[in-house]
Amino acid sequence: MISPVTPYNENDRLRKLHSLEILDTSEDIDYDHITLLASYISKMPVALITLVDKDRQWFKSKVGLTACETTRDSSFCGHAILNPQEILIIPDARKDLRFVDNPLTKLDKPVIFYAGVPLLTKEGLAMGSLCVIDHKPNKLNEQQLSALKNLGKQVERLFELRFLNKELQATKESLITHNDLLKDFAGTVSHDLKMPLANLIITSDILKKKYDTQLDDSGKKYLNYLKKSSLSMSTYITNILAHYESSAYNKSDTHSFQLNDMLEDLVDLLDIKFECEVHLPEENFEIKCNRTALEQIFLNLIGNSLKYNDKEHTVIKINAEEKKNLYQFSIEDNGRGIEKEKVESIFSLFSTIGHLDRNGEKGHGIGLSTVQKLVNTLGGTIKVSSDLGSYTEFIFTIAK
């Protein structure tokens, strides 16, 4: 018997094999289907998907065999990986110098015929083989060999998918960690900045009141500007924090409530001081979802309809429809509308369309990005249509 030699790229090969994290894993039907097909097509009693480790070969999937592994010294697949571009065919192992006196040829059900397709990574490193075995001399025709090679390609694709899934999982975990750090940072910054800003707002009011008779118009104007800027910055920080907290809502944290009851509470909370009509959905049906997240969505959208409306009489129409797997909502206003070239970018963070609100303030470009994140968290989508000078309508869904 001649034991298989060590491939020249053994260190890289083993490193890649271990990074696959597949050794000693449980049975997998995707691999089992391939060995069943290999056995059926080749008409061989044994079919294996093997992985060649440092001192052993381990079977990820097996047909017609009870053992889970063998030593690498006695393995046939250890020889197969030495020429990764070719299928290794042994018509009769008893007549091949490499396998004379091999313990696998002396079993009750010996390995006599062997055909193994090396299983390669995209870098060309051989992880093991897809092989078929018979207990007597045999051969494969061209069609069977071609089918065996194609099945080997399917195993390689399963390996590649496993690598990709591992990379995606690692990326996901990294993003979660960075997102948590970013939210912690946003929370800390918002707290550390909002306290000084609150002091600026209070101080400006105190100065204006205490020194009212000593301040000229310019002095009062500067104090008003200081207070206005501080309030704007405070709102900006609050919106930033809300944006990064929006992904923390749990879709499964659901409650049942009446839609119109919730909307009436929100309209009352907005405390509208100008002429405005808010038309609620005709049907007050029951909804089951994360109420806090849905409230935040409506508060942002209705708030925008109020702030950016240039008509003397504001009209807001809210409609809702219950479908098989989702709820669909729409909010339409008779406001100034959005330019066509700016519609596609309004959900981007910090993107603004440049309009001033009723108080002459410019938006921060955070609210609609937060809305989109909340809608996505609830398993839905959002889109907008608008006609400049006429209307804007947001339509969004959430999953049941």
- Asked which of 101-105, 145-149, 160-164, 290-294 is least confident by mean pLDDT, the reply is 290-294
Q: Are residues 23 and 143 in the same domain?
A: yes
pLDDT for 220 equals: 85
How many Cα atoms are found within 13 Å in the side-chain-facing hemisphere of 225? 6
> If pLDDT is split at 50, 70 and 90, which confidence band does 365 have?
low
Residue 191 domain flag = no
Write out pLDDT tens, residues 334-343.
988 888 888 8
Better-scored residue on pLDDT, 389 or 332 = 332
pLDDT at 374 over 80: yes
* In-domain check, residue 194: no
What are 101's two structure tokens?
Answer: 């006196």
Tell me the pTM: 0.54
Considering the domain architecture, whether residues 17 and 142 belong to the same structural domain is answered as yes
Contact call for residues 378 and 289 (beta carbons, < 8 A): yes
Phi, psi of 54 (to 5 degrees): -60, -45
**Residue 185 belongs to a domain:** no
Are the C-beta atoms of residues 84 and 122 closer than 8 Å to each other? no
Instruction: Say if residues 34 and 151 touch (Cβ distance below 8 Å).
Output: yes
Predicted confidence at residue 321, as pLDDT, reads: 94
pLDDT top residue among 370 and 190: 370
Is 253 found in the same domain as 395?
yes
Interstrand relation of 126-134 and 326-333 (parallel, antiparallel or unpaired): unpaired
Note the pLDDT of residue 42. 97
Residue 238 has pLDDT above 60, yes or no: yes
* Nearest CA-CA partner of 28 in 155, 135, 202: 155
Is 19 among the domain residues?
yes
DSSP three-state, residue 87: coil
Say if 267 falls within a structural domain: yes
Alpha helices in the chain (DSSP H): 10-20, 29-42, 77-80, 142-210, 217-245, 259-270, 291-307, 340-343, 367-377
Same domain assignment for residues 272 and 153: no
For a pLDDT cut of 70, what percent of the chain falls above it?
A: 90
pLDDT of residue 210: 85
Supply the Cα-derived Rg of the chain in whole angstroms: 34
In a domain, 68, yes or no: yes
- The CATH number for 127's domain is 3.30.450.40
Q: What is the pLDDT of residue 41?
A: 97
**Predicted pLDDT of residue 246:** 60
Looking at 133, 149, 166, which one is the last position of a domain?
A: 166
Domain containing residue 382: 249-400
One domain for residues 271 and 140 = no
Q: Contact at 8 Å (CB) between 366 and 304?
A: no
User: Would residue 192 count as lying in a domain?
Assistant: no
Statement: residue 247 has pLDDT above 70: no
Last residue of a domain, one of 123, 148, 166: 166
Q: Per-residue pLDDT tens for 17-71?
A: 999 999 999 999 999 999 999 999 999 999 999 999 999 999 999 999 999 999 9
Q: Which of 127, 149, 166 is the last residue of a domain?
A: 166
* pLDDT exceeds 70 at position 382: yes
Number of domains in the chain: 2
How far apart are the C-alpha atoms of 186 and 226, rounded to whole Å? Answer: 24
Q: Which residues pair with 289 in a beta bridge?
A: 255
